[in-house]
Amino acid sequence: MGSKGTIGILTGGGDVPGLNPAIRAVTIRAVKEGYSVIGIKNGWKGLINIDRDAPANEQRYAEALDIKTVHPIGRKGGTFLHSSRTNPLHVSKKNVPAHLKHKYDNDDNDLTDEVLKNLEYLNIDCLLPIGGDDTLSYAAHLHKMNFKCVAMPKTMDNDVPGTDYCLGFSTCVTRTVHYTNQLRTCAGSHERFLVIEVFGRYAGFSALIPCLAGAADRCVIPEYKFDIERLTDLLVSDKKNNPSDYSVVFVSEGAMFEDSEMIFQGNEVDGFGHKKLGGIGESVSSQLKKISPQFNNGESVHVINQRLGYLVRSGDPDALDSMISMAYANLAMNMIIENKSGVMVCLRKGRYEVVPLDVVVSYKKLVDVSKFYDVERYRPIYKNFEDKPMWII
């Protein structure tokens, strides 16, 4: 143990560029301030799988971190601590660790007692979880159980309440613009619609911001159900007005047709009750091709359908995610040094701040359609930028 105690770090949910630089910055600052650091492997899954009866050298879900260990990871994407979508409040019978099955045999089990005992076993005084609203909602629960937590927001969707910015979002936007521009060559060569499915279960930021940056003509988002005939009409018009005779639309994975709900891949749910999304881009593409003759003098318009998926969360962080991860890490360490708990570091209107951690469960952060989305034209509203922060939405 360091002279000032031990900090635990974990990453939960989907991986994003910016996690490794954050882990690195926390560790370096913590060690220099006199703390020890333990990395928890596989997020909350790691904290339910610690076997307190096993020797220390057999604990595969916990790793002591030092400056030498984290130094090489700062420029790399993903998370070297690995991740999971485990929720200790709701662990199915099949996912209860083998050494705990004799104690927990319900279909749905709350393993919070084990989490708290494992944190004590590891001598962790304060936990620094990095994640989206699901991961951080359990951190808020631990804080209510009187365990110290200082949190850091990350997600491609940029939908964690209480902050304008989540780690990974800038790289997501950068990658989306880059790959869309690459695909334009195919769309233009064949005079087609280009349909690109992007992240966004409940919030459409990862479609709206790249569209605002000029990467697409239109976008459809979860916050507003769209009329497929209206979208087809708009895209045909965009195509005719483009000298290269093609048009582009972003489709959030949680977007919905006017007369339907979200499209899922099967009925299996994760620990936080979410079904796996996927298929809306394919459905939109099929309908566009079918309906297009109505608006294109009887001729069908063929479609290139591409789901960007993991491409936008892979690889190195961009400049903003590299910088903000370092700033978030040092702000989080300031809170720990000041013995603060139950807070989340954040960016609001371009300034680094902290907010109460329970903000992550207080509301849903969604696109304000009335301010930022043109429901007639299915695109961002391109005005009223004065006095807005950089991430205007």
What pLDDT does residue 267 have?
Answer: 64
Is 77:66 a contact under the CB 8 Å cutoff?
no
What pLDDT does residue 111 have?
Answer: 98
368 is catalytic: no
Instruction: Give the active site residue among 15, 133, 157, 217.
Output: 157
What pLDDT does residue 273 have?
Answer: 66
What pLDDT does residue 2 have?
Answer: 65
What pLDDT does residue 56 have?
Answer: 74
CA dist., res. 69 & res. 144, Å (int): 32
- The fourth-level CATH superfamily of domain 169-309+369-380 is Phosphofructokinase domain (3.40.50.460)
What pLDDT does residue 285 have?
Answer: 97
In a structure prediction context, what are the per-residue pLDDT tens digits for the chain, which is 393 residues long? 668 999 999 999 999 999 999 999 999 999 999 999 999 999 999 999 999 998 877 889 999 999 999 999 988 999 999 999 999 999 999 999 999 999 999 999 999 999 999 999 999 999 999 999 999 999 999 999 999 999 999 999 999 999 999 999 999 999 999 999 999 999 999 999 999 999 999 999 999 999 999 999 999 999 999 999 999 999 999 999 999 999 999 999 999 999 887 776 666 767 676 666 778 999 999 999 999 999 999 999 999 999 999 999 999 999 999 999 999 999 999 999 999 999 999 999 889 999 999 999 999 999 999 999 999 999 999 887 888 777 766
Query: pTM score > 0.85 for this model?
Result: yes
CATH 3.50.30.50 fits 6-167+319-361, yes or no: no
HEC profile of 257-277? ECCCCCCEEEEEECCCCCEEE
CATH topology agreement for domains 6-167+319-361 and 169-309+369-380: yes
The ranges assigned to domains in the chain are 6-167+319-361, 169-309+369-380
62: closest CA among 106, 10, 126, 133? 10
CA dist., res. 199 & res. 255, Å (int): 10
How many other β-carbons are positioned within 10 Å of the β-carbon of residue 90? 18
CA dist., res. 20 & res. 322, Å (int): 9
